[in-house]
């Protein structure tokens, strides 16, 4: 089944056209800087020339029109008619407590995504705008929402409750939700597939290290804890996000610097993390390069990043009472041997040994085992594919909807 996967940010639309029958990505692309004078449009058809151009794209609906006209252009030979696309899968960041699984989008689902605006003000509003734009452009096929939070619905109470009055959980649903669920799900499944291990018998720790970063403890195939929380701000130090900090720092700063709520939000989400600590960049490639040139603050940012990863891994080994495999994925996890090495250095007490040569030479874009043969815990690099998870879920739900109006 041909599924169009859509991932909308506030000024961007990312798309993938995936054939779920052979899991092939036929085309992917990105419309960026929507609403600006010059928007950037990239299309990357499989096995054909990639294109990049600029034009004015006023809103998400125009971005969808641009994507459809590219896919339908006879010169590009991707699809012949809009009806070749059988369903659209949408990445939705926050499903709140309501959505434990992917769902067919109807008016009730749209309302529930809207109700979760408060919980993810940066993500859910553009996600919904993308849904509405895609529904306008492709009105006659099923649209499915796939939630970043869904995989973490299996967290037990002790992992998702915060130490605040329970009434606040009941009234406002303040709890840990966790994010990057499709990625943690995908790489853990790839690990079972690759090794033949049975999900129910294994404990794995999945490290999704990209601009946003999170770690999950997956026991018996289910997420039992994860580093992100009520929002994607907590946990690890990230590109521009602070990760965990003592909440009292906020009271202190609000008073000392006379910060507004908006200032605090921007400080922790956009000016902190690797960027804030290094005072130089949020991009790990730049930090590694400058640290190599002797920049002390870039080195401090890298050290802090790896230290937090090590702390989370250690705590999840403790809470799961063991770990069969640690998996690295996403931009940094897949491409930065230095970060993998540093994060796991000095963990021989727990029996974790990275093979330096395998780690350094790990071929990109493929599943690689990078631990020594004597390591008690295996260490893997596994490329993530969140879009494929969304496409497969979407195809399943679209097929079911085709057979029954009650899906
Ligand atoms: P993502 O959000 O998954 O696209 O990951 C983006 C992050 O991956 C950025 O911090 C990039 O610097 C980092 N990244 C990508 N390629 C490399 C590389 N070869 N070495 C180090 N970091 C990389």
pLDDT at 328: 98
Q: Which protein residue's CA is at the shortest distance from atom 8 of ligand 1?
A: 331
Task: Please give the sequence-ordered ranges of beta strands (E in DSSP) within 148-221, or none if there are none.
Answer: 203-209, 213-219
Distance 101 CA to ligand 1 centre (A): 29
What domains sit in the chain, N to C, each tagged with a CATH number?
2-147 (3.30.420.40), 199-386 (3.30.420.40)
148 labelled catalytic: yes
Residue 210 Cβ contacting ligand 1 at under 6 Å: yes
Catalytic choice (22, 73, 118, 148) = 148
Residue 244 DSSP class: S
Q: Is the CB of 275 under 6 A from ligand 1?
A: no
Instruction: Please give the distance, rounded to the nearest whole angstrom, from the Cα atom of residue 282 to the centre of ligand 1.
Output: 10
Instruction: Supply the pLDDT for residue 83.
Output: 95
Q: Which residues contact 243 (CB under 8 A, 6 or more apart)?
A: 227, 233, 234, 235, 236, 237, 273, 308
Instruction: Please report the pLDDT score of residue 116 as a whole number.
Output: 87
Q: Whose CA is nearest to atom 18 of ligand 1?
A: 335
Return the structure tokens found at 59. 């809103």
> Which residues in the chain land under pLDDT 50?
none
Interval between CA 210 and ligand 1 midpoint (Å): 6
Q: Tell me the Cα Rg of the chain.
A: 22
Among protein residues, the one with the nearest Cα to ligand 1's atom 20 is 336
Q: Which residue's CA is the nearest one to ligand 1's atom 17?
A: 335
Q: Tell me how far apart the alpha carbons of residues 13 and 88 are, in angstroms, rounded to a whole number.
A: 13
Atom of ligand 1 nearest to the CA of 282: 10
**331 CA → ligand 1 middle, Å:** 4
Nearest alpha carbon to residue 143 among 88, 92, 181, 103: 88
pLDDT score for 403? 86
User: What was the pLDDT predicted at 12?
Assistant: 94
pLDDT tens, residue by residue, 9-47:
989 999 999 999 999 999 999 999 999 999 999 999 999
* Cβ-proximal residues to 220 (8 Å cutoff; 6+ apart), any chain: 199, 200, 201, 202, 203
C-alpha–C-alpha distance, residues 372 and 385, integer Å: 26
- Is the CB–ligand 1 distance for residue 6 below 6 Å? no
């Amino acid at each position: 089944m041909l599924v169009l996967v859509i991932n909308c940010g506030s000024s961007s639309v990312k798309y993938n056209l995936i054939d779920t029958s052979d899991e092939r990505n036929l085309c992917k692309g990105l419309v960026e800087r929507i609403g600006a004078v010059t928007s950037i449009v990239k299309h990357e058809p499989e096995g054909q020339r990639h294109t990049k151009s600029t034009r004015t794209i006023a809103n998400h609906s125009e971005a969808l029109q641009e994507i459809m006209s590219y896919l339908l252009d006879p010169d590009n030979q991707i699809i012949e008619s809009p009806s070749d696309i059988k369903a659209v899968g949408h990445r939705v960041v926050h499903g709140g407590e309501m959505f434990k699984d992917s769902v067919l989008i109807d008016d009730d689902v749209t309302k529930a995504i809207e109700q979760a605006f408060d919980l993810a003000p940066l993500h859910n509003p553009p996600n919904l705008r993308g849904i509405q734009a895609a529904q306008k452009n492709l009105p006659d096929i099923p649209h499915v929402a796939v939630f970043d939070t869904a995989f973490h619905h299996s967290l037990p109470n002790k992992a998702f409750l915060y130490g605040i009055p329970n009434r606040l959980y009941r009234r406002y649903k303040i709890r840990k939700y966790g994010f990057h669920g499709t990625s943690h799900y995908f790489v853990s499944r790839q690990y079972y597939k690759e090794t033949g291990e049975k999900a129910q018998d294994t404990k794995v720790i999945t490290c999704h290290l990209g601009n946003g970063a999170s770690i999950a403890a997956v026991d018996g195939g289910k997420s039992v804890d994860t580093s992100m929380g009520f929002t994607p701000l907590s946990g690890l130090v990230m590109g521009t996000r602070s990760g965990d900090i003592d909440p009292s720092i906020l009271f202190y700063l609000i008073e000392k610097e006379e910060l507004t709520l908006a200032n605090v939000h921007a400080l922790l989400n956009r000016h902190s993390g690797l960027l804030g600590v290094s005072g130089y960049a949020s991009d790990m490639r730049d930090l590694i390069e400058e640290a190599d040139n002797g920049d002390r603050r870039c080195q401090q940012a890298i050290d802090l990043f790896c230290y937090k990863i090590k702390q989370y891994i250690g705590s999840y080994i403790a809470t799961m009472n063991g770990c069969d495999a640690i998996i690295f994925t996403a931009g940094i996890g897949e491409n930065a041997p230095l970060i993998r090495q540093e994060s796991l250095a000095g963990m021989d007490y727990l029996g974790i040994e990275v093979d330096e040569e395998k780690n350094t030479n790990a071929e990109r874009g493929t599943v690689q085992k990078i631990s020594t043969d004597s390591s008690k815990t295996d260490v893997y690099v596994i490329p993530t594919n969140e879009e494929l998870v969304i496409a497969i879920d979407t195809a399943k739900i679209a097929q079911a909807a085709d057979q029954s109006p009650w899906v």
